[in-house]
Structure 1
Amino acid sequence: MSSIRTRQAAVAAVVLSVALSACSSGGGLKASPPDDAKAGGDAERPATVTVTPSGKGVSAGKPVVVTAKGGTLSVVTVTDAKGKTLPGRPSADGASWTSDRKAAPGTTYTVRATTRTQSGRTQATQASFSTAEAEQVNRLTLAPGKNTTVGVGQPLSIVFDRPVTRKADVEKQLKVTTSNGTEGSWGWLKDWSGKDRVDWRPKDYWKAGTKVTLDAQLNGTDSGGGWFVRDYLTGFTVGARQIVRVDLDAKKLTLERDGKRVREIPVSGGTPGGDKRSWKGTAVLMAKEGTINMNSETVGLGDAYDKMVDHSMRLTWSGMYAHAAPWNARWMGRANKSSGCIGMNDSDAAYFYGQVRVGDPFEISGEDTKGTVAEGNGYGAWNVTWEQWRTKSALATRA
């Protein structure tokens, strides 16, 4: 059901003919006579050109279709008020032309068509139409940021402001290209915020140096909860292959780069046996937040703590971080005594903070944890198998 207010009860096709030598009463229709008519000779029957949609305030979200009778279309252009054109292609017989993109909301388009008759004479016609404004606009938030360099575990992630009930229609407009043909798939999930979200995850961790581009041609697409009124183009580069392995049973963290161990750091993880346990599985470094205030009440742990924390690195939306924890220095490498985070002493945390990059995967293991990081709790897509992930695509082929 469209969310565009249709201002007319019916949308009639506009018929362009050589009998019209000036603009129509609506001001949007214009035609030129064929070459032989200008010369005063016997004119053959003129071609008739029809443009759909037509009029003012028509529904968006449909391709522009131009058809010709009594001739073939040789040139068709559809241009908006900003001079941007809708690409399209003619039929094999030249009798029609259809835009590749859909008409966007709140836009005026000018259609110019040149037809050629059987005898080779040409005729130019022109028409305009406008689409209704969107009642609800859907916007999105992209991660990672444009032109950034990220770790090998970073997915391409899109969070939508409004619900997406027409997921297949939206996913069809999301084009991912990589510099090395990386295999990957979109997967739909609920973000920790409760909003609809779709992530593009490679089958395996990215290869270092991969360049990734997203061309989201969403303008004119109805998400079911709102219309998109612009396109999005972004890209990022994958940095060195860094993997952080956290063994909560051994109380140690190991930083690996390009398959080699760089440094091993003693840590203290979440306290066993209750709500203060850490998560396990693969968590991707979401952000390096530096010195921040951490308050246990914001993560449902009562008044356990309220303090400024240095070298803070966010791993989940639910509040698990890796950070400096000098108050737990005596437990580093000996016991898990934190409120769920992965704590280090000051010097180790400062060093580690300088080495890691947003997108680096943290592979966390341990016997006494509170479960595996969920897909929407940060970037937990790596905690499902590739086969499971592919089924989350709205375009997945099901037997």
Structure 2
Amino acid sequence: MSEIRVRGIRPGSARIRSTTGAAAVALLNTALLTAALSACSGGHPSTAGAVAKEGGGHADGRPVTVTVTPHGTRAKPGEPVTVTAQDGTLTSVTVTDARGGHLAGGLSRDGRTWTSDRNAAPGTAYTVKAQTRTEEGTTGDADASFTTEAAGLVNKVDWRPGDATTVGVAQPISLVFDRPVHDKAAVERQLKVTTSNHTEGSWGWMKDWSGKDRVDWRPREYWRPGTRVTLDAQLNGTDSGTDGGWFVRDYHLRFTIGSQQIFKVDLDRKRLTVQRDGRAVRTVPVSGGTPGPETGSWRGTEVVMAKEGTIRMNSETVGLGKAYDQDVDYAMRLTWSGTYAHAAPWNAAYFGRANRSHGCIGMSDADARWLYENAHIGDPFEVTGAETKGTVAVNNGLGDWNVGWDDWRARSALR
């Protein structure tokens, strides 16, 4: 820890900076001497003591001791900054980094301890300024500085949706971490979701389709249209655990929920109905996946992840051999495993009649274009049908809605 003794003086009489070793002793002695002399009109010790006492100090000249942790030039990051006063109290404390950023914090009830709200970040130089008061009322100030050790490993975040976007009612907040997160509770504590209408929701952890750690926040039910959502991920200074590394920045995003638009896909009837604000606005014939464990369509709720336009689809990339290799138009991604809604004019004979695709939801060019132009990222596709091959997994795209609310909440690291 770093200790600074502050003589009973009036503000502005002396400033003491923390250091170490012999230099610290020399600086401290010089500073204390300066403090004693500047508090009186003459150099006689008894005069100095008398004047200090008149100003509210101790008759015996006992200083306030200020202790700062962390300390040193290679301090451990990931802990709050603590400033403690002995033989007096703290009246104010400011902690700033080299870029001028502030660590907010608060004083204890007895005024003897100040603790930062945030942890000290790795690879950061901090300056601490404290103002003190002795038990007799004499005031003084003190400075200290320390530098935290740089991060050996850094963890980064990829997130959905984008900042300042408008999304559909099924869009979760989804964070995928570049490195493993072993201390999930420590990370989740730093994630704060605020909504304009106090929406109930929860974080849920999973392994992403990529194999990386991922945490999503979803409401209990679909978002209410018009809801404004803010995520403050105050991760800078958080350790994600062994082999995971440190977070060295915060993340902030805001987005708005658009109209309630739901795509209901009935693969028994081979129909897709677009419901907007509870009213059917369009129904189109479709063809889903050919029944079977490899070619069947997934059932459950799939969320529009991206509108990719014209893409090249190759069956070898999804383990289906050489079944197809062609361009498709108006493609909207629904899962990581390769499920799309798209135009499929080569399958026109089966629209509304039979499921004969390799798992995607196919339709005519005209219908696919209309859906593509009217769909939003975050709109749900609710797929039902006896010929489907199973429920889409939670991590296969944004499949958060395919588990019940209680099961979802149980995925939180803070439950």
| TM-score, with length taken from structure 2 | 0.90
One-letter amino acid of the counterpart of residue 39, structure 2 = A
Report the counterpart of residue 38 of structure 1 in structure 2: 38
**C-alpha deviations, 1:305-343, integer Å up to 9, x for none?**
111100000000000000000000111001111010000
SS at match of 1:297: helix
2:76 pairs, out of 49, 59, 63, with: 59
Map residues 270-289 of structure 1 onto 2, 5 A cutoff.
270-289=289-308
SS at match of 1:170: helix
Deviation at 1:273, TM superposition (A): 2.6
Cα distance in structure 1, aligned partners of 2:174 and 2:133: 48
1:222 pairs, out of 239, 242, 255, with: 239
Cα distance in structure 2, aligned partners of 1:309 and 1:98: 58
Structure 1 contact 35–121 (Cα < 8 Å) conserved: no
2:2 pairs, out of 14, 18, 23, with: 14
Change in CA separation of 1:121 and 1:363 when aligned onto 2, cut-off 3 Å = same
Structure 1 contact 28–128 (Cα < 8 Å) conserved: no
SS at match of 2:205: strand
Report the counterpart of residue 387 of structure 1 in structure 2: 406
Deviation at 1:14, TM superposition (A): 1.1
Report the counterpart of residue 144 of structure 2 in structure 1: 127
Structure 1 contact 285–360 (Cα < 8 Å) conserved: yes
Residue 335 of structure 1 pairs with residue 354 of structure 2? yes
Report the counterpart of residue 137 of structure 1 in structure 2: 154
Change in CA separation of 1:382 and 1:200 when aligned onto 2, cut-off 3 Å = same
One-letter amino acid of the counterpart of residue 251, structure 2 = Y
One-letter amino acid of the counterpart of residue 114, structure 2 = W
Cα distance in structure 1, aligned partners of 2:18 and 2:93: 20
Runs (5+) with no aligned partner, structure 2: 8-13, 41-47, 53-57
One-letter amino acid of the counterpart of residue 378, structure 1 = G
One-letter amino acid of the counterpart of residue 319, structure 2 = G
Structure 2 contact 15–143 (Cα < 8 Å) conserved: no
One-letter amino acid of the counterpart of residue 6, structure 2 = V
Deviation at 1:118, TM superposition (A): 2.1
One-letter amino acid of the counterpart of residue 124, structure 1 = D
Cα distance in structure 1, aligned partners of 2:108 and 2:198: 32
Deviation at 1:70, TM superposition (A): 1.1
Query: Bigger CA drift: 25-34 or 351-360?
Result: 25-34
1:205 pairs, out of 212, 219, 222, with: 222
Change in CA separation of 1:28 and 1:309 when aligned onto 2, cut-off 3 Å = farther
SS at match of 2:396: coil
Cα distance in structure 2, aligned partners of 1:273 and 1:250: 18
Residue 191 of structure 1 pairs with residue 203 of structure 2? no
SS at match of 1:330: helix
One-letter amino acid of the counterpart of residue 365, structure 1 = T
Cα distance in structure 1, aligned partners of 2:363 and 2:391: 22
2:250 pairs, out of 206, 231, 256, with: 231
Cα distance in structure 2, aligned partners of 1:351 and 1:39: 82
One-letter amino acid of the counterpart of residue 38, structure 1 = S
**Matched residue pairs, number?**
384
Q: Which runs of 4+ in 1 moved over 3 A?
A: 18-37
Deviation at 1:110, TM superposition (A): 0.5
2:279 pairs, out of 260, 274, 277, with: 260
Structure 1 contact 282–380 (Cα < 8 Å) conserved: yes
Report the counterpart of residue 388 of structure 2 in structure 1: 369
Change in CA separation of 1:22 and 1:381 when aligned onto 2, cut-off 3 Å = closer
More helix by share: 2
Change in CA separation of 1:282 and 1:23 when aligned onto 2, cut-off 3 Å = closer
Change in CA separation of 1:320 and 1:28 when aligned onto 2, cut-off 3 Å = farther
Deviation at 1:17, TM superposition (A): 1.2
Identity percentage over the alignment?
62
Runs (5+) with no aligned partner, structure 1: 1-12
SS at match of 1:311: strand
Deviation at 1:38, TM superposition (A): 2.2
| TM-score, with length taken from structure 1 | 0.93
Change in CA separation of 1:28 and 1:77 when aligned onto 2, cut-off 3 Å = farther
Deviation at 1:36, TM superposition (A): 7.3
Deviation at 1:274, TM superposition (A): 3.8
2:198 pairs, out of 171, 174, 181, with: 181
Cα distance in structure 2, aligned partners of 1:21 and 1:236: 47
**C-alpha deviations, 1:21-60, integer Å up to 9, x for none?**
6656558998766987523131421111111111011110
SS at match of 2:6: coil
Structure 2 contact 18–145 (Cα < 8 Å) conserved: no
